[in-house]
C-alpha cells in the first residue's frame, strides 16, 4: 500500500468507534480525528474468523452496489503504517468517493477494499451496515 499519508479515512467495520478490545478503540488508531457518519457505494460481505467476524468491501458497478454505511475521519495525525499492517494483505487502501463529510456532500477518502477471493462462509450484508448486521445476527466482531 502507498505510504503516503491520506487526508481522510473511511471505516465501515471493526475500525469504527468501540470495536477494539474491551469495546474501546484500537490503540493503533491514536491520533485519528473524530468521525462523522458517511457512506460509500459497493458490496459488503461478512468474513468469518476464529476471532469473530469482519467485513469486506468490494467496489462494484453502480447498478450492482448498495450503500455501505460507516464513518469518515481526518487521518492527518494517525500512524497509517500501523493501520495498513492491521488490515493485512487481503485489503488495499485506495481513495473512494464518500458521501456525508460534514454535510458538504461527496469527498474522497482512503478506504480499505477487499482484494482476495471471498472465503467459504462469507455472507453478503444486504443492508450495507456491519454494525446492524452484527446486532441482527447476534454474531461477534473480530477482536484481534
- Render 19-44 in DSSP notation, one character per residue: -SGGGS--GGGTTPPPEEEEEEEEEE
Question: What pLDDT shows up at residue 5?
Answer: 86
User: What's the DSSP call for residue 105?
Assistant: -
Rg of the chain over all Cα atoms, to the nearest angstrom: 14
User: For the purposes of burial, counting CB atoms within 10 Å of the CB of 62, is it exposed (0-12), middle (13-18) or buried (19 or more)?
Assistant: exposed
For the whole model, what pTM was predicted? 0.92
The Cα 17–Cα 90 span in angstroms is: 22
Question: What pLDDT shows up at residue 128?
Answer: 96
The Cα 122–Cα 48 span in angstroms is: 6
Instruction: List, for residues 14-56, the tens digit of each pLDDT value.
Output: 999 999 888 889 999 999 988 899 999 999 999 999 999 999 9
Name residues of the chain where pLDDT drops below 70.
1-2, 61-64, 101-105
Count of CB atoms within 10 A of residue 11's CB?
Answer: 23
Q: Identify the bridge partners of residue 96 per DSSP, sorted by sequence position.
A: 109
Question: What pLDDT shows up at residue 62?
Answer: 64
Domains in the chain, please, with CATH? 8-137 (3.10.490.10)
Amino acid at each position: 500500500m502507498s505510504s503516503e499519508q491520506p487526508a481522510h479515512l473511511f471505516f465501515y467495520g471493526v475500525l469504527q468507534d468501540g470495536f477494539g478490545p474491551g469495546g474501546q478503540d484500537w490503540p493503533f488508531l491514536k491520533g485519528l480525528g473524530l468521525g462523522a457518519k458517511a457512506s460509500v457505494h459497493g458490496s459488503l460481505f461478512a468474513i468469518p474468523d476464529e476471532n469473530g467476524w469482519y467485513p469486506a468491501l468490494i467496489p462494484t458497478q453502480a447498478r450492482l452496489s448498495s450503500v455501505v454505511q460507516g464513518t469518515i475521519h481526518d487521518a492527518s495525525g494517525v500512524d497509517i503504517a500501523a493501520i495498513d499492517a492491521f488490515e493485512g494483505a487481503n485489503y488495499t487502501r485506495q481513495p473512494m468517493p464518500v458521501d456525508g463529510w460534514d454535510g458538504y456532500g461527496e469527498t474522497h477518502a482512503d478506504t480499505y477494499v477487499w482484494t482476495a477471493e471471498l472465503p467459504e462462509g462469507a455472507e453478503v450484508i444486504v443492508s450495507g451496515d456491519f454494525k446492524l448486521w452484527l446486532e441482527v445476527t447476534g454474531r461477534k466482531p473480530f477482536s484481534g
